[in-house]
Structure 1
Amino acid sequence: MPAPLTRQQISDAVGPLGWRLILGVVVTHVRVTSVAAAAEAATCAVSVPGVDGHLTLDLNADRVVLRLHTLVTGSVTGYDLRLARTITDTLAARDLRTEAGDAAAVPQAIEIAIDALDIALIRPFWQAVTGYVDEPCPPDLPDGALLDPLRRGPAIWFQQMDEPRPQRNRLHLDVDVPPEQAASRIDAALAAGGTLLADDAAPAFWVLADPEGNEACVCTWQGRD
């Protein structure tokens, strides 16, 4: 069995094609001018042999969002990288470009992290109330994370607490973006009244807080291999 790909290897392979690695999935946007054009672009992408079990997509009036990873393992494999190139070439033959988003929408994923003293006790509640499923999770998420079965909503994971922390919020957002988008996202949060609490783990993540102390992390794949 081949060794798992590093995040750097994945990013190096798909970056020039207009795809970006976001939370264990490679993502690209294809700009279109209508829903009908989005459907045509999607049909073109799914015409590539072997995409079942690897490709998921969302159709919008101005773009198609394509995502690739191996569903049964929850990771990006060499096969996914080959699919990314083939899909990119197939779309290009129709004058459609794979791009890393634009000013209107960049590739990103949201995580919700919940601090807990007893993860096994509270996890069933969150799975029941969200309808989320147990599926192989991206390698950047800890064991026990919960996923939206259609990948519409944010991933939910649980952070072990050693003792109660009433002085801190116990739920925070992680926002995963391409590395080149991290600085502008942080700058925008600071300009909006936020505070940078910690950057010692950068570029894996930066910890920020709103004016009342509620926390969010801006995350990238870098610094995790």
Structure 2
Amino acid sequence: MATLTRRQISETLDPLGWRLIHGAALAHVAVASLAAAAEAAAVAVTAAGTGGNGHLSVELHSDRLLLRLQSAVTGTVSEADLHLAQTVTEALGRRSLVTSPGDAAAAPQSMEIAIDALDIPLVQPFWRAVTGYVDEPGAPEPDAALIDPLGRGPEIWFQQMDAPRVQRNRIHLDVTVAPELAQPRIDAALAAGGTLLSAARAPAFWVLADAEGNEVCVCTWQGRD
């Protein structure tokens, strides 16, 4: 099966109200109560059927249902996930429930922790042990990141270094958002006292720093295919 490009995935997801965020398809469904979120989750899970196993996960809140689609085998959005997004969206729509990319209160995003390392195989086992994380599926060593087996915490990945970087922090955050939210997020960070260090790799990512030089990357799927 041919690997889908990020653009192909996004072109299918966006009209459905889903967004591609760091290898997963995310959508929000606004509800009026926790009980309503549970009912919406039941609709989504029933629509997905057995095909949802290893692909669909749901998270319930009193004001929204969060839906996530990703292949547990490959750690990517597959053709099956795109089909499930269509099926689940249509089933929810028949109940007047709308899939959307979130709102100002909670945008679809993911968080990663990036660790600079001279010897990734040397330090990776420590972080695997201390966090209780597992290897990212489908990625070869040493490129595999570490992930929370229940998807609760941020992914940890390791950036290969050729020499120590004593002039900057060696751990930074990557915040991946939908493309339309990148510039507003950057503008908000700059207004809050941050500095734009580099836009050389935009729109894949922008590098920002706080007032003391601690770095963060604002990332999107764009510019990576």
TM-score, length of structure 1 as denominator length = 0.96
Change (3 A) 1:165 1:135: closer
Offset of 1:135 from its aligned partner? 3.2
Deviation at 1:138, TM superposition (A): 7.8
Is 2:93 the counterpart of 1:59?
no
CA contact (8 A) 2:73 2:138 kept: no
Give me the whole-angstrom Cα distance separating, in 2, the residues matched to 1:10 and 1:100. 15
Q: Which residue is equivalent to 2:203?
A: 203
Name 1:29's counterpart in structure 2. Answer: 28
| CA deviation string 1:105-143 (max 9, x = no partner) | 00000010001111111111111111101131689xx81
Output the CA distance in 2 between the equivalents of 1:159 and 1:80.
29
Amino acid at match of 2:123: I
Runs of 4+ in 1 over 3 A off after TM superposition: none
Q: CA deviation at 1:53?
A: 1.0
Task: Report if the CA contact (8 A) 2:71-2:78 is conserved.
Answer: yes
**What residue number does 1:94 align with?**
95
- What is the aligned partner in structure 2 of residue 163 from structure 1? 163
* Secondary structure at 1:47 match in 2: helix
List per-residue Cα deviations over 1:146-184 (Å, max 9, x = no partner): 001111111000111111111110000000000000000
Report the equivalent of 2:193.
193
| Runs (5+) with no aligned partner, structure 1 | none
Tell me if 1:39 matches 2:42: no
The CA distance in 1 between the partners of 2:139 and 2:32, in whole Å, is 32
| Aligned equivalent of 1:181 | 181
Moved more, 48-57 or 213-222: 48-57
Query: Aligned partners of 2:166 and 2:24: how far apart in 1?
Result: 35
Q: Describe the SS at the equivalent of 1:175.
A: strand
- C-alpha distance in structure 2 between counterparts of 1:177 and 1:31, whole Å: 19
How many residue pairs are counted as aligned between the two chains?
Answer: 222
| Matching residue of 1:75 | 76
The amino acid across from 2:165 in the alignment is R
| TM-score of the aligned structures, taking structure 2 as reference length | 0.96
Confirm or deny: 8 A CA contact 1:18 1:28 kept in the other structure: yes
Report if aligned partners of 1:147, 1:154 keep a CA contact under 8 Å in 2. Answer: yes
Structure 2: distance between partners of 1:214 and 1:69: 31
- Distance in 2, matches of 1:203 and 1:23, equals 14
**Higher alpha-carbon deviation: 142-151 or 33-42:** 142-151
Cα shift readout 1:181-214 (whole Å, capped 9, x = no counterpart): 0000000000000000000100000000000000
Question: Superposition RMSD on alpha carbons, in Å?
Answer: 1.3
Task: Give SS of 1:188's match.
Answer: helix
CA contact 1:28–1:65 (8 Å) conserved in 2: yes
**Who is 2:151 aligned against?**
151
* 1:133 equivalenced with 2:143 (yes/no): no
Deviations 1:7-52 (CA, angstroms, capped at 9, x unpaired): 0000000101000000000100001111111100001100022111
5+ residue gaps, structure 2, are: none
The answer to whether residue 19 in structure 2 is matched with residue 13 in structure 1 is: no
